[in-house]
Structure 1
Amino acid sequence: MLVTGASSGIGLAVVSLLRTAGHDVVLASRSAEALERAVAVSAGEGATLPVVADVSSAAEVRDLVDRAAAWAAGRGRALTGVVHCPAVLAYGRVEDVPDEVLDRALAVSLGGTVNVARTALRHWSGRGEVGSLVVVGSLLGEVTVPGMGGYATAKWGVHGLVRTLQQENRGRAARARVSLVVPGGVDTPVYEQAGTYLGRHGSAPPPVVSPHRVARAAVRCLERPRRRVSVGPANALTRLGFLLVPPVYDLLVGPLARAFALGRRADDGPGNVLAPVPEKERLRG
């Protein structure tokens, strides 16, 4: 199995569950230091191969998949599943987030998903195999929140990509079984790691679920693929409000986001968007 974004949050929880089940796991992340720590804290019998890779680079993703497949083959196995988790974000009005920060966030969160998905599909297609691809999306791929425009743009793109892949991989044309996991607020460090141009850190919007709950949904999709799995008790209601009563949603979402999705005061800056911050990578927020 290959897990991208494996050194923190949901990805790290996926690694732990897979290893506990006895699977060998290739862990990919931008930071060697964070990967080393992830291998140490994830328990289980499955062997691990940490690989430093930036998913926004198509070349690095090709090398990652090649290494993962070769390592699996050397252990008498095959690369049968990929769980894609990485995302970076910067809080702020769209026009206030610096160009390089917004461009980089889109390159990682959306471009990285494209790179991983098409490389995995090409790998399985070239071998006449059908693998399992699980993509971790977000409730913000189905609704929007002011101050998170870059993240919503990326996640709406991710959801559109996954739906297209599901359409293209039907019947005899299938190269993969493609699943989308849609979490709401999750207790991970992604909000603290994020860049901000609002003068405040982000925080997980309630109701908050554990990273292991999302990871369990992702691992189940590897075994029994599903088109879409929502993880979060308020997801359905939030989505319904966004679709059915947009004026009311738009009136309420700003004040609610300021009250519940922003934390303590912080200096403006890019967070981990431009480069990893290994000391902030961990399972929970």
Structure 2
Amino acid sequence: MNRLIVTGASSGIGLAIARRFRRDDWSVINISRRPCPEPGVTNIPCDLAQPGAADGLADALSPWLLDRPRLCLVHNASIMQSNRVDTLGSADLRATLELNLVAPNAINRIVIPHLPPGSSILYIGSTLAEKAVPGVAGYVIAKHGLVGMMRATCQDLAGRGIHTCMICPGFTDTEQLRNLIGDNAGTLAAITGLSAFDRLIAPEEIADAVAFAAAAPVLNGALIHANLGQRER
């Protein structure tokens, strides 16, 4: 059976990805603080934001790496916080980088030696992986860095039959986004107004893009914007 290892599948895009792959009869392993509510998903509890936590996952992951089926690793866990580059504290930046960059790197070191040809490593980026908006400096920095990790993955694994790419969602209707904007109807209207479709993206739409990418080695090294098209202002 094909196997998915995904981080942060307790809610939002990660949960939608877990459900999409389960629907396609993949075995799904979630790594996150909270369990994934989708039936049939194996949960490995880990707070990836804690320094060194991801380095300790080798024992928990090893049973899922032994029989070497086709495997897809999706680095999805992320956090967006309000901060500005002129007030961004070093501790806050380190915490953001720990979850968004250091943890994926640690998981890669564990998983990559066991990947058979036909496998994939997919990164969930953001529209802000190639641009910036005010007020979320740490997130912008981290997502730009994740682009470099994806491109390094492509180059360093060339010849092994393993492909990688980054799916960059636009504004997606997730718990994290709703918590960030709160009850501010004006902010919600401004965000949806940026989309050429005048709406938020459904997490399931991103999950469909990820499922397609997992089976498409032609996308190796690609950065793919999945944002419904954005109006340029």
Same fold (TM over 0.5): yes
Q: Mark the CA change 1:103 to 1:216 in structure 2 (over 3 Å): closer, same or farther.
A: same
Equivalent position SS for 2:167? strand
Instruction: Say if 1:5 and 1:86, in contact at 8 Å, map to a contact too.
Output: yes
Q: Mark the CA change 1:9 to 1:65 in structure 2 (over 3 Å): closer, same or farther.
A: farther
- Match in the other structure for 1:241: none
| CA distance in 2 between partners of 1:195 and 1:100 (Å) | 24
- Residue 19 of structure 1: which of 6, 18, 22 is its match? 22
Instruction: Identify unmatched segments of 5+ residues in structure 2.
Output: none
- Match in the other structure for 2:123: 135
CA offset digits 1:17-55 (Å, max 9, x no partner): 111111111111123xxx1xx33xx25xxx321111133
- Residue 48 of structure 1: which of 13, 38, 41 is its match? 41
Q: Mark the CA change 1:26 to 1:65 in structure 2 (over 3 Å): closer, same or farther.
A: farther
Instruction: Say if 2:51 and 2:98, in contact at 8 Å, map to a contact too.
Output: no
Q: Mark the CA change 1:233 to 1:218 in structure 2 (over 3 Å): closer, same or farther.
A: same
The Cα shift of 1:175 comes to 6.5
The Cα shift of 1:194 comes to 5.2
Does residue 210 of structure 1 match 2:205? Answer: no
Equivalent position SS for 1:90? coil
Q: Mark the CA change 1:90 to 1:133 in structure 2 (over 3 Å): closer, same or farther.
A: same
Equivalent position SS for 2:191? coil
Percent of aligned positions with the same letter in both sequences? Answer: 25
Instruction: Say if 2:120 and 2:164, in contact at 8 Å, map to a contact too.
Output: yes
Equivalent position SS for 2:74? strand
- Match in the other structure for 1:176: 162
Superposed, which structure 2 residues align to 1:1-285 within 5 Å?
1-31=4-34, 35=35, 38-39=36-37, 42=38, 47-56=40-49, 60-64=53-57, 66-71=59-64, 73=66, 78=69, 80-124=71-115, 129=117, 131-171=119-159, 174=160, 176-193=162-179, 205-206=191-192, 207=195, 208-225=200-217, 226=219, 227-235=222-230, 238=232
| CA distance in 1 between partners of 2:93 and 2:29 (Å) | 29
The Cα shift of 1:93 comes to 1.7
| CA distance in 2 between partners of 1:62 and 1:24 (Å) | 23
| CA distance in 2 between partners of 1:27 and 1:51 (Å) | 6
CA offset digits 1:91-129 (Å, max 9, x no partner): 1222334443332112111222322333322333xxx65
Q: Mark the CA change 1:109 to 1:85 in structure 2 (over 3 Å): closer, same or farther.
A: same
For normalisation by structure 1, the TM-score amounts to: 0.67
The Cα shift of 1:191 comes to 2.5
Equivalent position SS for 1:186? coil
Instruction: Say if 2:166 and 2:223, in contact at 8 Å, map to a contact too.
Output: yes
| CA distance in 1 between partners of 2:216 and 2:99 (Å) | 28
Equivalent position SS for 2:31? strand
For normalisation by structure 2, the TM-score amounts to: 0.80
Q: Mark the CA change 1:97 to 1:103 in structure 2 (over 3 Å): closer, same or farther.
A: same
CA offset digits 1:72-94 (Å, max 9, x no partner): 65xx6636111110111211222
Instruction: Say if 1:69 and 1:78, in contact at 8 Å, map to a contact too.
Output: no
Give the number of the structure whose alpha-carbon radius of gyration is greater.
1
Equivalent position SS for 1:205? helix
Select the structure that is richer in helix: 1
Equivalent position SS for 1:213? helix
What is the RMSD computed on CA atoms of the aligned residues?
3.0
